[in-house]
């Protein structure tokens, strides 16, 4: 009898573990990322947009192709990868727009500002580590992208970075690519544009196009809804019915 009880207890414990296990794994979905990074990074010095600010203002943009679709939310982050530390904190207005053609540089609509130039990013001067995407800005507005050609625009430097004309620790060097990079994701670079939209009136280049990483925050999994309780039927007493008869009929209905 004792052995049977022990077996029954063990079986019940296993059943409880199976029920608790999935809930204990976590109440949030895994965070996801989109990373567009060079296969063959060109590590020569590029001062725009994260080094001295006077070489590219008022606006500049990086153009990409074959970028997967994403839905950026306020609170998600966009990060860039430097391999030299800048001499001051980097503050920039950052905006995004889809292109009319995959790999083109013409925005198909107005740019959406996702970061204001008042924001000081995480790791605001960058570092010398290749591939860690440490310069991290937090999106303050959503941007939904259906995939294909994408423009990331930089403008209106803020803080001390607005007058950063010193070439000490040029922060623009690092994870940048040629338009011919084997990844197939890099299209071009536009600098010194007056209004920050196509047609671009500044200079166009096929090099110095930076990689980027989007980090999407965890989305909580909604709790399972409990089944609705079946309402109990109320037994109404009819007029001219004795209390004993009513009690018997209510008992039968239950």
Cα Rg of the chain, angstroms: 30
DSSP state string for 175-203 = SEE-TT-TTS-EEEEEEEESSSSSSP-SE
Of the candidates 50, 160, 54, 130, the one whose C-alpha atom is nearest the C-alpha of residue 94 is 50
State pLDDT tens for residues 171-206: 456 789 999 999 999 999 998 888 999 999 988 999
Between the alpha carbon of residue 143 and those of residues 93, 96, 117, 148, 193, the distances in Å are 15, 8, 18, 14, 23
State pLDDT tens for residues 193-252: 889 999 999 889 999 899 999 999 865 555 555 555 555 555 555 555 555 555 555 555
Q: How confident is the model at residue 49 (pLDDT cuts 50, 70, 90)?
A: confident
Give the pLDDT mean for 25-33: 53
What is the per-residue pLDDT for 84?
85
Q: What are phi and psi of 121, to 5 degrees?
A: -75, 170
What is the per-residue pLDDT for 222?
53
Q: How confident is the model at residue 105 (pLDDT cuts 50, 70, 90)?
A: very high
**63 against 14, higher pLDDT:** 63
Q: How many residues does the chain have?
A: 254
DSSP state string for 228-243 = PPPPPPP-PPPTT--H
**8 against 140, higher pLDDT:** 140
Residue linked to tokens 């925050």: 217
For the chain, domain boundaries: 32-216
Mean pLDDT of the chain: 79
């Amino acid at each position: 009898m004792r052995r049977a009880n022990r077996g029954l207890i063990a079986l019940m414990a296993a059943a409880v573990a199976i029920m608790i296990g999935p809930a204990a794994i976590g109440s949030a979905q895994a965070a996801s990322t989109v990373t567009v990074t060079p296969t063959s990074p060109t590590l020569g010095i590029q001062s725009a947009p994260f080094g001295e600010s006077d070489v590219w203002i008022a606006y500049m943009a990086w153009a990409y192709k074959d970028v997967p679709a994403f839905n950026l939310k306020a609170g998600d982050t966009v990060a860039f990868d430097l391999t030299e530390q800048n001499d001051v904190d980097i503050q920039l207005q950052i905006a995004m727009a889809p292109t009319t053609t995959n790999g083109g540089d013409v925005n198909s609509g107005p740019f959406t500002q996702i970061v204001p130039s008042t924001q000081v990013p995480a790791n605001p001067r960058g570092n010398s580590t290749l591939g860690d995407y440490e310069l991290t800005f937090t999106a303050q507005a959503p941007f939904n992208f259906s995939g294909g050609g994408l423009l990331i625009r930089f403008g209106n430097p803020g803080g001390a970075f607005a007058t950063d004309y010193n070439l000490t620790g040029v922060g623009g060097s690092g994870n940048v690519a040629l338009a011919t990079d084997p990844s197939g994701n890099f299209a071009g670079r536009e600098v010194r544009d007056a209004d920050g939209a196509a047609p671009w009136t500044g200079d166009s280049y096929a090099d110095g196009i930076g990689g980027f990483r989007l980090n999407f925050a965890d989305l909580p999994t909604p709790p399972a809804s409990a089944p609705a309780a079946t309402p109990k039927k109320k037994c109404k007493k009819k007029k001219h019915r004795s209390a004993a008869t009513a009690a018997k009929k209510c008992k039968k209905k239950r």
